[in-house]
Amino acid sequence: MRALTRTIVAVSLLVVLTSRGDAQSLPSAAGHWEGAVQIPEMELAVEIDLKANGAVYAGTFSQPVQGVKGLPLSTVVVEGKNVRFVVRAGQAPATFQGLLSDDGTSMSGQVEQGGQSVPFKLTRNGDARIAPVPVNGPIAKELEGSWNGAIEAEGRSMRLVLKLANQANGAAIGTIMSPDGSGVEIPIAITQKGLSVTIGVPSIAASFVGTLNAEGTELAGQWTQGVVTAPLTFQRSK
């Protein structure tokens, strides 16, 4: 009986140690991933960057052909070898459900968007390449706050929410978000010279150049994104 007990204990210990070894050998999803989404009749090149802070992941999406670079992902969930992230860059979110290979060098799965599903495959190519938040000089107090505007282009209206503020160290920070688009707050670059304001949104290859009125209630100018240029006026949010 004593020998049988020792055998059971030894087997149990072996199972525990094996389980721990398997958990420790799980591949990491962190890194720079390049590949393609297989849409009908063509492949769409994409790049994904995932970075881990403990068990919490964050990341960005890039689509070189469309000039999208470093668009923040709205959701990233990693459970073992299963990876799920959501890209909100159009009228409907795109949900990537992927599985890491055993050696952690590739990821493949399905992308679901608007009720349709297509395959994707990515290959790891080094560490994540997430760009730092733009460093800006200070802005006038009249420019701080939340601003609402809308772009009218190609028969569509897209609302925009602009948030600007000075930090304690004197540097300004800002984000722009579209409730009708990604819904994700995207870091921006800000330059102010008197009443002239320039905003850069490198992740979507867009920019805005405008003028703040004397009352500090309106910021009017032009929005440029790719080959599209449209008038845009921001009103200070009440």
Q: What 3-state class would DSSP assign to 69?
A: strand
Q: What is the mean pLDDT of residues 25-50?
A: 91
Decide if 190 contacts 202 (C-beta within 8 A). no
Domain interval for residue 54: 27-124
pLDDT value of position 24: 54
Q: What is the mean pLDDT of residues 208-230?
A: 93
Q: Token pair for residue 212?
A: 């703040």
Residue 93, pLDDT above cutoff 90: no
Residue 22, pLDDT above cutoff 70: no
Residues 6+ apart with CB under 8 A from 91: 114, 181
100 and 52 inside one domain? yes
115 and 73 inside one domain? yes
pLDDT value of position 21: 41
172 and 229 inside one domain? yes
Q: pLDDT tens digit string along 121-178?
A: 999 999 999 888 888 999 999 999 999 999 987 778 889 999 999 999 989 999 998 8
Least-confidence region, from 26-40, 55-69, 94-108:
55-69
CATH number of the domain enclosing 221: 2.40.128.120
Instruction: Report DSSP letters for 82-124, one per residue.
Output: EEEEEE--SSS-EEEEEEE-TTSSEEEEEEEETTEEEEEEEEE
Residues 6+ apart with CB under 8 A from 211: 195, 196, 197, 219, 220, 221
8 in a structural domain: no
The number of domains in the chain is 2
CA gap 197, 224 in Å, rounded: 14
Q: Token pair for residue 99?
A: 């599985």
Answer whether 0.75 is exceeded by the pTM.
no
Residue 18, pLDDT above cutoff 60: no
Integer CA distances (angstroms), 51 to 62, 79, 171, in order: 15, 14, 25
Residue 182, pLDDT above cutoff 80: no
pLDDT value of position 19: 38
Of the candidates 90, 124, 158, which is a domain's last residue? 124
